[in-house]
Structure 1
Amino acid sequence: MENYAFLILLVVMFGAFYFLLIRPQRKKQKEHQDFVNSLKKGDRVITIGGMYGEVDSVGEEYVVLRVEDGGKLKFLKQSIMGKQPEQT
């Protein structure tokens, strides 16, 4: 009987671990993937390095950003953190 109780406890702990840690992380990854796949020319974004820019072109694995001085920089899509907050 003790073996079953230990097994049940192990399953419950794994379930809690999955629902508290793994599942939310997967959801966040999917949301980010959907975001980078929806990028289009003209979107104002920020990179994980803190650079702001406007999307100039989008490739399969990369995004070209136009920065404030008019220069263009090429980034991997995964390095785009999010949309630039609206300026007030």
Structure 2
Amino acid sequence: MGQLGSILPLILLVVVFYFLLIRPQRKRQQEAIKMQNSLAPGARVMTTTGLFGTVVTVDNEDVVLEVAPGIETRWVKAAIGRVVTPGEPVADEPVIDEGDDTVAGESGTADGDQDSNTKKS
């Protein structure tokens, strides 16, 4: 009975690691592979490095992306991070507030002065 009591925490730790780390990672990996295998020409995608492009052709393990009109690059399917839907906002584009002339997230005044609560060195 003493040996079972000392090995039980180790078994419990393995079970917790499986459900909290291994199983969700496997699920994300399977979803990524499914997405990469379902790529079709015309799909707008973002690579894992943040490059946006449109799928032109799909070969066995390669994808040709058009990143600008007339500019095509060849990528491995595994480098495709996600498919971008047309209505989805892009994180890099600034959000413009219609009622204000400044861009959201911009700090300071229009003439470039610093905020009064910042320290000047």
TM-score by length of 2: 0.68
1:62 aligned partner: 62
Structure with a larger share of its residues in strand? 1
Structure with a larger share of its residues in helix? 1
Runs of 4+ aligned residues of structure 1 deviating over 3 Å after TM superposition are none
What is the rounded CA distance, in whole Å, between the counterparts of 2:85 and 2:6 in structure 1? Answer: 50
2:3 aligned partner: 3
Give per-residue Cα distances to partners, 1:46-78, cap 9 Å, x unaligned.
001111110000011110001123211000000
**Structure 2: any 5+ residue segments left out of the alignment?**
90-121
Of all paired residues, the percent bearing the same amino acid is 39
1:51 paired to 2:51: yes
**Structure 1: any 5+ residue segments left out of the alignment?**
none
What is the rounded CA distance, in whole Å, between the counterparts of 1:47 and 1:55 in structure 2? Answer: 11
Larger Rg computed on CA atoms = 2
Deviation (angstroms), 1:85:
4.4
What are the residue-to-residue correspondences of 1:1-88 with 2, within 5 Å? 1-87=1-87
What is the rounded CA distance, in whole Å, between the counterparts of 1:30 and 1:54 in structure 2? Answer: 23
TM-score by length of 1: 0.92
Please tell me the residue identity of whatever aligns with 2:7. L
What is the rounded CA distance, in whole Å, between the counterparts of 2:6 and 2:34 in structure 1? Answer: 40
Higher relative contact order (CA 8 A, sep 6+): 1
What is the rounded CA distance, in whole Å, between the counterparts of 1:26 and 1:65 in structure 2? Answer: 27
2:119 aligned partner: none
What is the rounded CA distance, in whole Å, between the counterparts of 1:86 and 1:2 in structure 2? Answer: 62
